[in-house]
Amino acid sequence: MRTTEHGEHRSGAPTRRRLPRLRTALAAALALAVSGAAAPQVMAAQPTATDPQPAVPSLAWADCQGGFECANAEVPLDYRDPQGRTITLAVVRKKAADQGAKKGTLFLQPGGPGNSGVDFVRNNYAGLPASLRDNFDVFGYDVRGVGRSSQVVCWDDPTYTQAVTAAKGVPGPDAYEPAVRQAASFVQGCQDNAGGIAPYVGTGYVARDIDLLRQALGEEQLTYYGRSFGSYIGTVYAAMYPERVRALVLDGGYDPEHYANKPYAYDRPQYLALDGAMGRFLDWCKGDQATCGFGDGDPRAAFEKLKADLDANPVPTANGGQANGYTLVYRLMFNINEGKVIWPSLGQALRKAQQRDNTSFLLRPPSPASYDFLNPNVAVECVDKDYPRDPALLKRKVTRNAELAPLLGPAMAYGPPTYDHQHATACVQWTGEKPSRYAGSFRAKGSAPILVLGTTGDPDTPYQDSVALSRKLDNGRLLTFRAEGHTAFGRSACATDAVTGYLVDLEVPARGTTCADETQPPSATPKKAPAGTTLGELRNGVDDRLDRIGTLR
């Protein structure tokens, strides 16, 4: 049993099932091109009243420190066999102080896929608006395949460490084929090490789990806040159970049709959004060199040189590893999510990297706790998404994405399987059935009003995806946050008040509501983290399996 950097134990290790070894990626690609064969695509169907009904979990709550209660929930591993094998989900709650006055239970769902919902509640409860803590029991859980709920492990820590250490910030002209072969190795690892659970980690089954948990908690309808990937989970729940929605907040929405059924159309905007955010930061850096401290008058050129220099001569790290151009890109990909408030800190961290100072938080290689996030991040999306199994199309899309997003895109496109928009090389080679995949419709016809939050400069979930989601939902309502950074709740007093009023009193913001109160860059690098940020740590996922909502004070 291995522990994460936070001393948390893994539990519920997945059953190992040996499948035939994949051929090399290039040979497999040739076979696909010749045969046109596709992997079986069984997917989650809309549940009906005549389906066999799984048992509602019985939750035996026990104190788990800090006023929180924890329990385990047994749910079907495969909903096609609801009375068959089960999987154990770890759940947590903190009860409202006045149980007689509470309005119900508020489900909090973090981003990812791969972030722990148990940790999300524990880490963010104190910073929630008082009216949410007063009116609701606050509930979260680790979804199937994540954290304490049978963690998916495709690559072990040494294999992942070797892959990210060998990756480059500036990949060479022959980087595509090795990337495809490496992705094939990752897929084989999933089949070898997580084959007993991987088919069942898709969002269609996650939504069914949530409905069983809703019943276990005695709730007639669901009250829910989901950020980033949590917004997609909420979207699928609403689509499958529209009449069971009381209030859903989908913060940093996905275009669900693109995500599930046209994934190349989903990936490209994310490449462009990430590079756009990085470009706007570098433009600010050029315009305010005194505060930024990086670039010597030309931050873009300095950044390109820094990536190449670190690839050529990696910086030794305190723990005996090394940081190169890929390390820099990987860290920027997530820290840019903080928005303008962190820009001075990013400038200083880049300057430190330029000076080969390994205390720069941008030179911290991915950790074992990162791998706990990244393994299910890839696996879940490969189950959820339906990529065309055409190797020529894959090559065109991947190489074009790298070309269109030159700042951060090439390192991700040709790097090992890690995060979101660069999963295509692995997912095109994914094998086996996908009974837990949900393919639509996404209208949620007949639901209560659903609030979608979109941030115009979001580098992770592009604003246009939130617009598309609000239009696809029959009863969607869009609130726009004009800002840099990822998601809106907790980063904007305007958006936070709107979300709170909606969850508590079902007050839907007026159509066209726009918030524009992002915290602007300070005039110098702050000596301590501004409210809602962590400076040398990232708030929004991956680094240490933390996912934090901003705290407004």
**Placement of tokens 């290689």 in the chain:** 365
What distance in Å separates the CA atoms of residue 274 and residue 418, rounded to the nearest whole number?
15
Range list of H helices, 17-155? 25-35, 117-124, 130-135
Global pTM reads 0.90
Q: List Cβ neighbours of 162 (8 Å cut-off, separation of 6 or more).
A: none
pLDDT band at 187 (very low <50, low <70, confident <90, very high): very high
Residue 553: per-residue pLDDT: 29
DSSP H/E element including 76: strand 69-76
pLDDT at 543 over 90: no
pLDDT at 80 over 70: yes
At 151-179, the pLDDT tens digits run 999 999 999 999 999 999 999 999 999 99
Taking Cα atoms as reference points, which of 282, 256, 263 lies closest to residue 204? 256
What distance in Å separates the CA atoms of residue 381 and residue 201, rounded to the nearest whole number?
9
What distance in Å separates the CA atoms of residue 268 and residue 398, rounded to the nearest whole number?
9
pLDDT at 4 over 50: no
pLDDT band at 533 (very low <50, low <70, confident <90, very high): very low
Residue 25: per-residue pLDDT: 44
At 382-441, the pLDDT tens digits run 999 999 999 999 999 999 999 999 999 999 999 999 999 999 999 999 999 999 999 999
Taking Cα atoms as reference points, which of 378, 466, 467, 391 lies closest to residue 422? 378
- CB-based contact 142:372 (threshold 8 Å): no
Rounded-to-10 torsion of CA 296, 293, 275, 333? 140
Residue 367: per-residue pLDDT: 87
pLDDT at 33 over 90: no
DSSP H/E element including 105: strand 104-109
Residue 487: per-residue pLDDT: 96
pLDDT at 43 over 80: no
Residue 308: per-residue pLDDT: 98
3-state secondary structure 395-415: HHHHHHHHHHCCCCHHHHHCC
More confident call, 115 vs 47: 115
At 353-391, the pLDDT tens digits run 999 999 999 999 998 889 999 999 999 999 999 999 999
- What average pLDDT does the segment 126-149 reach? 96
Residue 519: per-residue pLDDT: 87
Two tokens at 38?
């596709």
What distance in Å separates the CA atoms of residue 477 and residue 223, rounded to the nearest whole number?
16
DSSP H/E element including 238: helix 229-240
pLDDT band at 51 (very low <50, low <70, confident <90, very high): confident
Residue 547: per-residue pLDDT: 55
Residue 52: per-residue pLDDT: 80
Residue 525: per-residue pLDDT: 57
- What average pLDDT does the segment 444-451 reach? 98
Range list of H helices, 262-407? 263-287, 289-292, 299-312, 325-335, 343-354, 368-384, 391-404
pLDDT at 5 over 50: no
Angle at 270 between CA 266 and CA 271, to 5 degrees: 120
302: left (phi over 0), alpha (psi -120 to 50) or beta: alpha
pLDDT band at 50 (very low <50, low <70, confident <90, very high): confident
Residue 215: per-residue pLDDT: 98
Taking Cα atoms as reference points, which of 142, 255, 137, 256 lies closest to residue 206? 142
pLDDT band at 549 (very low <50, low <70, confident <90, very high): low
**Placement of tokens 């598309």 in the chain:** 468
More confident call, 458 vs 47: 458
pLDDT at 340 over 50: yes
pLDDT at 106 over 90: yes
